[in-house]
Structure 1
Amino acid sequence: AAAAQGQADSPELRKAIRDDMINLEVMAQEAVKAGLDKNADVVQQVELAKQSVLVGAFVQDYAKNHPISEDQLKQEYDKLKAKLGNKEYNTRHILVETEAEAKDIIAQLGKKAKFEKLAAKSKDTGSAAQGGSLGWAVPGNFVPEFANALLNLKKGEYTKVPVQSQFGWHVIKLDDTRELKVPPFEEVKAQLQQRLQQQSIKKAIDELRAKAKIE
């Protein structure tokens, strides 16, 4: 195990590992003699530790027996490219509670009010402090209503009609666009594999939960 962690195998290392194992065994025996293995809290912790080991073994075994294929990885990569598109958008928005508030902001913008200043009223406090800036992002990162409105804007424009989403009413401004270069497949392959493996394990767990009877 130590060698697997990058430590060179040696007689000294083997002795240190053996000493550690002996120490653990001696202390465990003393704990049993003291009756600590019957302590309710200890019993619970031992059971949780056992479950944790079993869960780790299950995940490793499932991943081994349900490998992610190259085709699956390429399909996921194609979906990622489609979602990202070929452009990034530098966007601002002001989020308010009502359509009337959004219309009032649009009216003020029409009278040459500064978007950044009006953004101080935004419900989105994180971007409000940055003049409404959401930074560079792809439309796929936003809810559909927001993304669709954004795609219809030209550089420097803002929405002349309030945009409603699940979060409230938005006034959106497009500051700039730039070309997006999607990383090559080989560069993101490991991340895609990890993501798909996690999704596969989650699906398996959901199916097990649906069938399980836990009292």
Structure 2
Amino acid sequence: MTHTLKAAVLAVAATLTLAACGDKTPADKVLTKVNGNVISTDTLDWLIKEQVPAGTPVDDSLRLRARDHLVQRAVLLEAARTAKLDQQADIKMRMEYVRDEQLVNAYIKDWLAKNPVTDEKVKAEFDKRIAEAGDTEFKARHILVEKEEDAKALIEKLKKGGKFADLAKASKDPGSAATGGDLGWARPGTFVPEFAEALKGLEKGKFTETPVKSQFGYHVILLEDVRKIAPPPIESIKPQLQQSLQQEALAAYIKDLVAKAKVEDSKPAEPKAAASQ
């Protein structure tokens, strides 16, 4: 049994119990007994289904390793109970939390299965994102400085024939300074709003004659080229769109459940007044 499998099963130990020896487990369902406690074949089958990757051959060797793991788990579980660890308040709370977490996760999985994202919703989200991203890419360079007067000084040097790539070596942007401020091809939406708006307002081959202020400082931007691009095939990003829409729907559902719930917080205890001296 792998370490991952062992850790995963121990993590949900609170959710599984050993059946007492007797007529509760049919004879044909008894895998083995450990100190009189039954480990059923159903438990073995569940363990393999839950933890073994899909497509892995389930042969006698694998079933034997799984059986040995369950035996080890059983003796450890009995030892823990004999030591009364299951009676310690923090351990009991952890066991209850893990048990409930399993139920919550099962409910979420069931809810997602019953509320699938339709192809229509995926198409609508795809169209929305494509419209927001636009069909144009810009090839730009920029120089980032901390002070507006420094940006203005750079603009004056450019007007006098200064080389943008040379001046950009002093840029405060470590990602582009070494390459003359080159930002490569990108859609405006990949930049902060102030930068994007300035970029879209430039003519090809021109630079901004007024410093562009953003959260990072002051930019001088040069637009080198513009090109139209085709959107990616919807199938290439369909799984990501489905996952994103599922998570949004789930978050909205949980938010609605919380809004409808009667949540009553207890007020914290008032601090006692200090005794007068």
TM over 0.5: yes
CA positional deviation for 1:16: 2.3
1:21 is aligned to 70
More helix by share: 1
The CA deviation at 1:53 is 2.5
CA shift in 2, pair 1:95/1:39, >3 Å: farther
Identify which of 148, 161, 186 aligns with 1:137: 186
Shift of 1:47: 4.7
State the partner residue of 2:229.
180
Question: Structure 2: how far apart are the matches of 1:119 and 1:56?
Answer: 52
Structure 1 segment 88-167 matched on structure 2, within 5 A:
88-167=137-216
Given the two structures, how large is their TM-score scaled by the length of structure 1? 0.83
SS at match of 1:6: coil
| Same amino acid, percent of matched pairs | 44
Q: CA deviation at 1:81?
A: 1.4
Q: 4+ runs of 1 displaced by more than 6 Å?
A: none
Q: Secondary structure at the match of 2:176?
A: helix
- 1:62 lines up with 2:100 in the alignment: no
Q: Matched residue pairs, number?
A: 215
Q: 37, 50, 55: which one pairs with 1:6?
A: 55
What is the deviation of 1:55? 4.0
User: Deviation per CA, 1:100-137, whole angstroms, max 9, x where unpaired?
Assistant: 22211111211222323333443433333443233321
Distance change (3 Å), C-alpha of 1:130 and 1:198: farther
| TM-score relative to the length of structure 2 | 0.67
Alpha-carbon displacement from aligned partner over 1:130-160 (angstroms, at most 9, x marks no partner): 4323332111222332222212223332111
Looking at both structures, which has the greater relative contact order when contacts are Cα pairs under 8 Å and sequence separation is at least 6?
Answer: 1
Given candidates 21, 30, 35, the residue that maps to 2:79 is: 30
Q: Which residue of 1 is the match for residue 238 of structure 2?
A: 189
Shift of 1:64: 1.8
Deviations 1:53-95 (A, max 9, x none): 3442243123123221211101111012112322222222222
Unaligned runs of 5+ in 2: 1-48, 267-277
Work out the CA distance in 2 between the residues paired with 1:86 and 1:108: 34
Q: Distance in 1 between matches of 2:108 and 2:155?
A: 53
Deviation track 1:162-189 (CA, whole Å, cap 9, x = no partner) reads: 2223433221112333442322112211
Return the letter of the residue paired with 1:124.
Answer: D
What CA RMSD, in Å, does the superposition of the two structures yield over aligned residues?
Answer: 2.7
3-state SS of paired residue (1:14): helix
- Sort the Cα spacing of 1:51 and 1:109 in 2 relative to 1 into closer, same or farther, 3 A: farther
